[in-house]
Amino acid sequence: MASQSKTLFEQFLAPLFSHLIDRDALVRLRDQIDWESAVAEFTNPQVVYPNYYKTSNFHGVENGYLSVDAALTYDPITQYVLPPGETWVRESLVKAIKGEPRRILDLGCGTGTTTRMLKRRFANAEVIGLDLSPQMLAMADYKARAADVAVTFRHGNAMATGLPAASFDVVCATLLFHETPPAVAKTILAEALRLLTPGGQVLVLDGNQRTLRATDWLSNIFEEPFIRDYSQGNVDAWLGYAGFEAVRTDEVFWLNQLSYARKPLPVVDREAAQGEGDRGAETLPLAQPA
Ligand SMILES: C[S@@+](CC[C@H](N)C(=O)[O-])C[C@H]1O[C@@H](n2cnc3c(N)ncnc32)[C@H](O)[C@@H]1O
């Protein structure tokens, strides 16, 4: 019988995942990367790890994301937890991006799966992935090189990236906020607002807060220290609070949600855009009733 002290993750998911994961393939992958030098390459000594990050185990991995084990097992596990399919769920974010952004920032990029998809879709854009874990970044870089996708990875804290203001047309985050305290998520959104050009888009793909609230057992299953706080919150409200406009959240296959919004234009640009809209209306034929 399972011991009382075991979490649901330890009791049910860990044995299931260990059955599904190809251990030999993982060992081969581990041996293909010189972890010591890759981690050194991606470590910025000036980065300070926030407390929540150092003191929590995420999905049962000890030392959280600051371990080679986490970087190796992340992708094999994630493919099973994004129904109806990992690529389909991630594509919902990529497809929601409007226009042709010149610079895109993927916050909490992990092993860079969404980051690579962004570059494939927007080949002319400069795409940067940022994460707090040098191990995850080393894995992301290895995978991007293997796939011949030219993206840049950077060690940093999404709450204070140190990147210049108004330097990105799109800032996004996938599966990041359910792993941070809500106060951290709000700080990250404030940083996203700072980083975006006026009119730029922010996109957040993560667990469906409404579904999580209605199904407590889902929050119990994954060993995620902040998922309950996340599910009690409201990304729409956090976006509005950070100063974004045109905020919207769509359900992505019941289990996930995509929230997106825009950084407001300065008042003078807004008036000019409005004026153009008015002039355009004068020259357009009136729509005929159907
Ligand atoms: C669940 S993973 C998501 C990874 C990736 N975005 C994806 O969709 O697969 C969460 C990632 O967020 C990173 N992370 C957590 N807090 C962060 C922060 N404050 N700044 C940057 N990265 C952070 C973790 O290191 C981890 O790689």
The pLDDT-based confidence of 61 (bands split at 50, 70, 90) is: low
Residue 242 lies in a domain: yes
Residue 110 in contact with ligand 1 by CB distance below 6 A: yes
65 touches ligand 1 (CB under 6 Å) = yes
Q: Does some domain include residue 165?
A: yes
Is the CB–ligand 1 distance for residue 113 below 6 Å? yes
Check if the beta carbon of residue 106 is closer than 8 Å to that of residue 82: no
Ligand 1 atom at shortest distance from the alpha carbon of 78: 9
Specify the number of domains making up the chain. 1
CATH of the domain at 241: 3.40.50.150
pLDDT at 79 over 60: yes
> Is this model's pTM higher than 0.75 or not?
yes
- How many angstroms is it from 131 CA to the middle of ligand 1? 6
Domain of 114?
A: 8-278
Q: Where are the alpha helices (DSSP H) in the chain?
A: 8, 14-20, 23-32, 35-41, 51-54, 68-78, 86-95, 113-121, 134-146, 182-195, 209-214, 216-221, 227-232, 235-242, 267-283
**264 assigned to some structural domain:** yes
Let me know if residue 2 belongs to a domain. no
290 in a domain, yes or no?
A: no
182-239 pLDDT per residue, tens: 999 999 999 999 999 999 999 999 999 999 999 888 777 766 889 999 999 999 999 9
How confident is the model over 141-150, as pLDDT tens digits?
A: 999 999 999 9
Any domain includes 43: yes
Residue 31 CB-density burial (10 A; 0-12 exposed, 13-18 middle, 19+ buried)? exposed
Is the pLDDT at 253 greater than 50, yes or no? Answer: yes
168-174 and 196-207 strand pairing: parallel
Q: Would the CB of 144 count as within 6 Å of ligand 1?
A: no
